[in-house]
């Protein structure tokens, strides 16, 4: 059953599942492609079929078994599809299927922190140590530079830790467990206590170094200031205001995965039990569907009417870090803001984006200056999977006219619980 739009495109009312069975190869051939079936689900939008073609070529050529893509144009959800490239009896991915989003969790945490600032429960220049009740391990002392770290430093990855020079404490469970002579799993409090006895690599505010640990601390600051679990505060203060329900913190073990969650492909099954996803909540632990995430991203497209943050807070979120003087910035150069990567072209025109990566996971979220936002999620990371950025941008540029429909009501009614 189809309905017409203002541009005359035929858009189906019911969700469509397309199956393409690939023929079997001769006996002796073991190529996965000879046994797999292509499926794509979600409302068919003929005017945007180029996105289906892009995703199919990308997924099949890399033998990724599950993916999803959601696209908004000027705040309207115009495209939402799920993709499966797997055996015929495997579960089918829907547009509303949940995926681990890894570091796409950071823009969500950033928004939650800025919400607290707006509510005057926190200030960007507050010192982190003043907000948290953790000291160093017994017999150790705190690096004096740690006393200088502020909330804004953490948001902009200027806290002074450099995992490339030392290690990433969010993936150092065995090291920390051994130091405390305590069994696995360790808790976030163990990680923070351990790190309070470690030296910083830079004076805070002087040098950018990407830090998962910094965003772990922001999650704990949220909990201290709200007396709520990080997950609960974000769901109440950010997601529910956008009509998003069902996003949740993921679980490490296969048997604990959420309903409607994709299964992840990685070598030696490191996707399950190879790291502590629960501890990564505020820097890399969220599960979400592509439509849910693109709803979050598009909330900032119209700053004067954003349901979760004021225009001033959104400007602060995308502003230059203190390491870059306004007079020295060249339009279009990339920089890291509060939870987002940014290219600022002036007059409010910005490209903002983030990626996420874990064993068995790759995620991409972008807000482009042309009014298009997109989210692509995959259940496998390959060496060149980051190329999806350029391929999707090229596909966006090929679209002459965008549909007038808005699929958010349909796609957000499924809670993924």
Which sign does the torsion angle of CA 217, 320, 389, 41 carry?
positive
> Across residues 120-129, what is the average pLDDT?
98
What end-to-end distance do the CA atoms of the chain give, in Å? Answer: 29
User: Strand pairing partners for 294?
Assistant: none
| CA 36 – CA 381 distance, rounded (Å) | 19
pLDDT at position 14 over 50: no
Q: How confident is the model at residue 349 (pLDDT cuts 50, 70, 90)?
A: very high
> Across residues 51-55, what is the average pLDDT?
98
Alpha-helix residue ranges (DSSP H) falling in 246-289: 281-284
Three-state DSSP at 262 gives: coil
pLDDT recorded at residue 29: 41
Structure tokens at 281: 């909540």
From 111, 113, 107, select the one nearest 126 (Cα to Cα): 113
H-helix or E-strand spanning residue 336: strand 334-336
Structure tokens at 86: 């797997």
Mean residue pLDDT of the chain comes to 92
Q: Would you give the DSSP letter of residue 150?
A: B
More confident residue, 26 or 263: 263
Structure tokens at 389: 């950025």
Q: pTM here?
A: 0.92
Tell the residue number behind the tokens 């989210």, with chain if given: 375
Which sign does the torsion angle of CA 133, 168, 152, 100 carry?
negative
CB-based contact 197:137 (threshold 8 Å): yes
> Across residues 23-38, what is the average pLDDT?
57
How does pLDDT run across 230-244, given as a tens digit for each residue?
999 999 999 999 999
pLDDT recorded at residue 364: 98
Q: How confident is the model at residue 414 (pLDDT cuts 50, 70, 90)?
A: low
> Across residues 269-281, what is the average pLDDT?
94
Delineate the domains of the chain, giving CATH numbers in brackets: 107-232 (3.40.710.10)
User: Strand pairing partners for 317?
Assistant: none
pLDDT recorded at residue 20: 46
pLDDT recorded at residue 17: 46
% pLDDT > 90, the chain: 89
């Amino acid at each position: 059953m189809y309905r017409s739009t203002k541009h005359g495109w035929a858009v189906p009312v019911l969700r469509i599942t397309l199956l393409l069975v690939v023929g079997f190869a001769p006996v002796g051939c073991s190529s996965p492609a000879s046994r797999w079936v292509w499926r794509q689900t979600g409302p068919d939008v003929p005017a945007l079929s180029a996105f289906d073609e892009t995703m199919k070529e990308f997924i099949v050529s890399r033998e990724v078994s599950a993916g999803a893509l959601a696209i908004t144009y000027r705040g309207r959800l115009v495209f939402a599809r799920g993709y499966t490239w797997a055996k015929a009896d495997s579960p089918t991915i829907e547009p509303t299927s949940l995926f681990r989003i890894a570091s796409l969790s950071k823009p969500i945490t950033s928004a939650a922190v800025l919400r607290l600032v707006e509510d005057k429960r926190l200030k960007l220049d507050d010192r982190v140590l003043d907000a948290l009740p953790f000291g160093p391990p017994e017999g150790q002392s705190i690096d004096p530079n740690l006393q200088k770290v502020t909330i804004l430093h953490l948001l902009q990855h200027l806290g002074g830790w450099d995992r490339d020079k030392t290690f990433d404490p969010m993936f150092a469970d065995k090291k920390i467990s051994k130091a405390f002579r305590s069994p696995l799993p360790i808790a976030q409090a163990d990680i923070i206590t351990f790190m309070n006895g470690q030296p910083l690599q830079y004076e805070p505010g002087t040098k950018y170094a990407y830090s998962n640990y910094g965003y772990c601390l922001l999650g704990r600051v949220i909990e201290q200031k709200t007396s709520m679990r990080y997950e609960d505060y974000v769901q109440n203060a950010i997601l529910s205001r956008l009509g998003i329900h069902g996003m949740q913190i993921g679980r490490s073990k296969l048997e604990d995965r959420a309903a409607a969650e994709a299964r992840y492909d990685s070598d030696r099954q490191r996707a399950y039990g190879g790291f502590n996803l629960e501890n990564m909540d505020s820097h890399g632990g969220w599960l979400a569907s592509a439509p849910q995430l693109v709803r979050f991203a598009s909330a900032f497209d119209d700053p004067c009417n954003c349901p979760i943050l004021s225009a001033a807070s959104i400007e602060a979120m995308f502003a230059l870090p203190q390491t870059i003087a306004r007079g020295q910035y060249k339009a279009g150069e990339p920089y890291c803001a509060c939870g987002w990567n940014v290219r600022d072209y002036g007059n409010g025109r910005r490209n903002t984006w983030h990626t996420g990566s874990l064993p068995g996971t790759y995620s991409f979220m972008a807000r482009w200056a042309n009014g298009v936002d997109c989210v692509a999620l995959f259940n496998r990371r390959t060496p060149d999977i980051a190329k999806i950025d350029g391929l999707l941008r090229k596909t966006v540029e090929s679209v002459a006219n965008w549909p007038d429909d808005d699929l958010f009501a349909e796609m957000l009614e499924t809670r993924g619980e």
